[in-house]
Each structure stands twice: as C-alpha cells, then as structure tokens.
Structure 1
C-alpha cells in the first residue's frame, strides 16, 4: 500500500475510534445487510435484545445485496450477513454464525405426495418454486448446486423471498427447497410439510462480515458479540 494511502487509512481509523460504548445510554446507529432468511432466524432475536438493552440504538435492516463486499467498502452497511459460499474469498474480518440444511416443502395436502417421503421421480416431475435475487435471478445455493449438477427441473415460479415460499406453495403442486431453521418457524402459520430432499444438497453456512475500520470500535464490537450470542443460543 502506498505511504500516502496508508497514512490516510490510519487517520480514518483514528477519527472513527471511539472511547467506549455503554448500550444502556449511548446513542448509535448501525446498518445490517441480510437476507430475509437471516432476518427471521438471527435478526428477530437480535432486535428484541437491542430493544431491551440499548434503547438509544437504531438498527437499519437492509436487504441482501448482490455485491456484499462493495456494501462494506462503501460503508453502506456496518455488518453483512452472507453465506460464506456466496461471499467467496476476501480479506474482510468475519465470524461464523450458523449452518443450516435444505429440506423440500410441499403443501400439507399435496395430491401427489401423500406420505412422508418424496421420491426423486416425484421431485423431478413436480413444478418447482425457486428463490432468486436480482434482475438476473441469481439462484440460491441449493438450486445452483442442482443446476451445476445438470438436474433438469420444471421451474414454474421464482421469488426473491425465502419467507414467501411456504405461502406460495400452499394449495399448489409446487415443491420448493427451503432452509430448515426458517421453514420450521413458519409451519404453524401455513399448512405445509417438510420432507428430506431425495437429491443431496450441501448445507449453507452463514457468517457476518465487516470492514476492518470497525474492528476496534467498542459499539461495533458490542453488536457483533450480540449477534454471536444469538447464533450460539440457536443451537
């Protein structure tokens, strides 16, 4: 790194350095970019904690961005929650949060799936609902895996929300790959059933990322510790 750029970086770090953070009294604003899946599983309990412990802290919950690294670099978000499989190689500080597995979701009264097992033949013959993001409908990790493996399916619906999947498949013949932690929270809300996927799909691993400029910030460190605590309590 050039000497001038290094000096400017150190000046920025000094300016951003804060003497301390008291969650009971200090006023701060933080932004977190995450999918609606991570919002339900991780950020819902985090918001409750902050509401009780840090009344003067404001949290801006931002949607997941296609270019997570740019969001951190441009300071659009203090923390990005992203699957490590999607973020890819990088030099940003990170901490693992949770892993989850993929299940198949169908209507509880599906006319073709009457038992507790979904066969590979049924999986391939049924119409599918898949999660995609952005104008080019980037597929989620499970559907990417199937596409890369050459698995041919009839995709009938795409949606940019994990949490809408169960509601959209209700009353249809659709099948959708969903993440277990989120789907099980929604079963009481919508009448669906979850089945093992007849085709093996790799687990997902969520992590939080932040810019090095925030590593020693006491308030930012407090927020990261709260997120880690939430993740640990899930297991």
Structure 2
C-alpha cells in the first residue's frame, strides 16, 4: 500500500500507525511518499495512492483522526523562556520562523490573526519542513508557532500558548472510492482509526 503525508503528518499520523501495523501485520509492505496536495486527486484516481493524511479534496472519503492546536515553541534556555507566556508586544518583537511547503513565504495564519489586531511580527526564516524547524528552534534564538504534536516530547524546547487566538486544524485520513469497500484496505484503516482513538484517549487523560 502507498501512503502520502507531509513531514508533520508523517510524524504525527504515519509513524504511530506504522508501529501498530507492524505489530499486527508485519508482512504488509508500505511505501510512504511526500504529499503533493495539488496532485492527490489524480494520484488516487490513477491508483498511485491508497491513503493520504491531510485535507480532503472533493469526492474522496475522509475521517477525522484528531484536532490539533498551535503553540509557541523556542529553545528551553532561550532568554525569553523563563518569562513565558509572552505578551503580544514581546511576541511581535522576537525573530520568528515558519514553515512554507511551497518555499519563500514569510506570512502565515499567525500573521493573519495579528493583522486583525493591527499588529505584525518579524519572520526572518521560512523553511519547507516542520521537522527541520524544530531543530532550528533548538539551535537558535528564533521562536515559532507550531502544531502541538510536533513538539509534544518537549525535547530541548519550551512551549506556551500564543498571545493571539489561532484557529486549529483537523488532521484527516483520506481515501478513494476504489478502496472504500475493499476488505483489506478497510481492515488497515480500522487499525489507523484504533491507533488514534487510543492516542486521543491518552491525551484527554493527561489534559
């Protein structure tokens, strides 16, 4: 089977799923490929893709795996870590990094939210990978707004709520009508759903 995911979805969705799948069906071969949102529909229709973790294009089946929220992250020994959460003034004064999968974008949802308040931040770094961003934060004085699950282990990072309201996101499992009723694919998807049901229950118990 072939699965497509962004690097964030790879860490937050695919890795826990593959760990459980290996325990139950170690002989299944899985190919994981980078997500190409503009080609997902065609990849499904051509049979090049079986499952996708991301946003659901029209005419595809989907199911919500979890709802995600955004938090601020900076390195644990950052000069501002001890005074977090930050005021909006201090937040805007710091140098920020963000992820732009297309590259060369220095504006995101956080900037939209700040603009509604008549504020702006200074984004000095744009990278194409959430995983690379986490490493950048550990090694610099930059701050970033990231999905909570990306930095849930807290390794070397301090985390706190952003000083501006930000909409969260829903991470979906997406599949095509071609495999919707296939018994094998239905069984594999059931493992995916069970995995995230257990993870969500654990998150709730720790909240």
TM class by shorter-chain length? 0.7 to 0.9
Q: Could you tell me which residue of structure 1 aligns to residue 94 of structure 2?
A: 126
Counterparts of 2:106 and 2:36, CA distance in 1 = 11
Counterparts of 2:194 and 2:100, CA distance in 1 = 30
Whose helix fraction is larger, Structure 1's or Structure 2's? 2
Unaligned 5+ segments in structure 1 are 1-29
Counterparts of 2:10 and 2:114, CA distance in 1 = 26
Q: Could you tell me which residue of structure 2 aligns to residue 214 of structure 1?
A: 179
Moved over 3 A (4+): 135-140, 142-151
State the Cα deviation string for residues 32-51 of structure 1 (Å, max 9, x = none).
Answer: 11122221122212212222
TM score, norm. by length of structure 2: 0.85
Counterparts of 1:216 and 1:139, CA distance in 2 = 41
Aligned residues: 198
Counterparts of 1:172 and 1:57, CA distance in 2 = 41
TM score, norm. by length of structure 1: 0.76
Q: CA deviation at 1:164?
A: 2.1
Q: Could you tell me which residue of structure 1 aligns to residue 48 of structure 2?
A: 76
Contact 1:131/1:139 (<8 A) preserved: no
Counterparts of 1:175 and 1:110, CA distance in 2 = 9
Q: CA deviation at 1:143?
A: 4.1
Unaligned 5+ segments in structure 2 are 201-207
Contact 2:114/2:164 (<8 A) preserved: no
Report the CA distance shift for 1:136/1:73 in structure 2 as closer, same or farther (over 3 A).
farther
Q: CA deviation at 1:183?
A: 0.8
Q: CA deviation at 1:98?
A: 0.5
Q: Could you tell me which residue of structure 1 aligns to residue 10 of structure 2?
A: 39
Q: The residue matched to 2:152 in structure 1 has which SS?
A: helix
Larger radius of gyration: 1
Counterparts of 2:125 and 2:34, CA distance in 1 = 21
1:197 lines up with 2:162 in the alignment: yes
Report the CA distance shift for 1:96/1:112 in structure 2 as closer, same or farther (over 3 A).
closer
Q: The residue matched to 1:133 in structure 2 has which SS?
A: coil
Q: CA deviation at 1:100?
A: 1.0
Contact 1:130/1:155 (<8 A) preserved: yes
List aligned pairs for 1:132-211, cutoff 5 A.
Answer: 132-135=100-103, 137=105, 142-143=109-110, 145-146=112-113, 149=116, 151-185=119-153, 187-188=154-155, 191-211=156-176
Q: CA deviation at 1:101?
A: 0.6
Counterparts of 1:54 and 1:138, CA distance in 2 = 43
